[in-house]
Structure 1
Amino acid sequence: MSTKDKGQDPENQLLLLRDFAEQHGTLYKVFTDEASGGKASRANFQAFLLEAYQKRFDLVVFWRLDRFSREGALPTLKYLKELKEHGVDFKSYTEPYLNSLGPWGDVIVSMLATIAAQDLIKISENTKAALARKKKEGVVLGRAAVPVATQDKIKELRASGRSVRAIAAELNISKSAVGKYVIAISGSAEKQ
């Protein structure tokens, strides 16, 4: 649903959606959220999914796909596929092609899956290109190395019986960094 603070009145959409839904059967319930559609943790969205999976209704209608979810192509596709798997069809009010009813329903879901896969490929390509550019500019990628003096201090504190957590707190570094050197210390001690 839209929000009033952005100049859109969700009541306009709800009125039309109620009429639209009633053309397809008895209206079961209206689910709306105030939170952004980009978050899966929306309380009413989670309640909607639960009731859909419990087969409390067999059709969901939404204003537009981006009003249903803005989490991205893959999560949205996942929701639509899960609805279908649980016997719940979907229909968009403003996008007549987004309709799992009828002969083209599976085609639409397949097309959305292809678009979602292409989105992932684009994201991966963009990430790789950005990393390659950073490397070419001389930026060192990855976590900064722990200085040798700090490595020696980790060994000293560990040998005195200090825990990984205590060492990390004292040296103001992450527990995983300490753990890396503790494992390396343990491994080298076992070889001797």
Structure 2
Amino acid sequence: MRVALYARVSTADKDQNPENQLVLLRREAERAGDTIIKEYVDEKSGGSSNRKAFQEMMRDAGKRRFDLVRVFALDRFSSEGIEKVFEHTAALEQAGVQFWSYCEPQLNTTGPMASLFKAIISWAAGYRNQRHSENVRLGHARKRAEVAAAGEVYQHGRRPIGKDIEAEVKRLGAEGLSRRKISEATGVSVSTVQKYLTS
């Protein structure tokens, strides 16, 4: 099997060395008869996925350059929280790339627990999408109520257009702001800004 090894240490801890993780991962890859395609190493906090080697690995996974990602532990892969971990492993799964952790074999998408973990990944991804949709819906409902209380009409995706907005557009225009800047400041379209400025 073609594998990628991923190791991460925190820049805050000078005693950590990614080689300690890689030695064990290489040994497991050799034991399984894997071909190591690449080793990806980050020296950065795992609290964000904005890590150079991690991003490169995920891009390469999307290109199917390997079949399996081996990591020492889940918190080395990501410490962003369980939702993000599921999101990342789901992205690997969708690319046809399996996930294997040295310290958490129960979370591997290989072996006897694979079906259960994949089901959890799928559930988590669906739950996250559902929650996002619900948050968007609640946000629109709150905004509609606020706008109605002000006696204006709510327009989805843009700031409500009322008498105050037109006055604000004209005031900003008089100050010399560009139409684009006025649009960004007021939340109305550039074409509406143009209409107000020429009326």
* TM-score for both structures, normalised by structure 1: 0.61
**Shift in CA distance, 95/62, structure 1 to aligned 2, threshold 3 Å:** same
| Partner deviation per Cα, 1:103-155 (whole Å, 9 max, x = no partner) | 32121132245467778999999xx9xxxxxxxxxxxxxx9xxxx7x974643
Residue correspondences, number:
168
Aligned pair 1:89/2:98, yes or no?
yes
Please list every run of 5 or more consecutive structure 1 residues that lacks an aligned counterpart in the other structure. 129-142, 169-173
Q: Distance in 2 between matches of 1:162 and 1:115?
A: 46
| Superposed CA RMSD | 4.4
8 A contact 1:33–1:44 mirrored in 2: yes
Q: Which residue is 1:11 aligned to?
A: 19
Secondary structure, counterpart of 2:19 in structure 1: helix
**Shift in CA distance, 83/77, structure 1 to aligned 2, threshold 3 Å:** same
Residue 183 of structure 1 and its aligned partner are, at CA, apart by 4.5
Q: Which has the larger radius of gyration?
A: 1
Q: Which residue is 2:77 aligned to?
A: 68
**Shift in CA distance, 186/59, structure 1 to aligned 2, threshold 3 Å:** same
8 A contact 1:73–1:112 mirrored in 2: no
Q: 25, 28, 37: which is aligned to 1:20?
A: 28
* Counterpart mapping for 1:131-170 below 5 A: 152=167, 154-155=169-170, 158=173, 163-164=178-179
**Shift in CA distance, 34/155, structure 1 to aligned 2, threshold 3 Å:** same
- Which fold has the larger relative contact order, with Cα–Cα distance below 8 Å and residues 6 or more apart in sequence? 2
Residue 27 of structure 1 and its aligned partner are, at CA, apart by 2.4
**Shift in CA distance, 7/119, structure 1 to aligned 2, threshold 3 Å:** farther
Please list every run of 5 or more consecutive structure 2 residues that lacks an aligned counterpart in the other structure. 1-7, 139-158
| Partner deviation per Cα, 1:52-78 (whole Å, 9 max, x = no partner) | 222222121101112112333333323
**Shift in CA distance, 64/152, structure 1 to aligned 2, threshold 3 Å:** same
Which range is displaced more, 67-76 or 40-49?
Answer: 67-76
| Partner deviation per Cα, 1:2-44 (whole Å, 9 max, x = no partner) | 2364254222222112212222223222111123223333221
Q: Distance in 2 between matches of 1:159 and 1:151?
A: 12
* TM-score for both structures, normalised by structure 2: 0.59
Q: 61, 66, 69: which is aligned to 1:57?
A: 66
Q: Which letter maps to 1:97?
A: Q
| Partner deviation per Cα, 1:60-103 (whole Å, 9 max, x = no partner) | 11011121123333333232123223332111001110111123
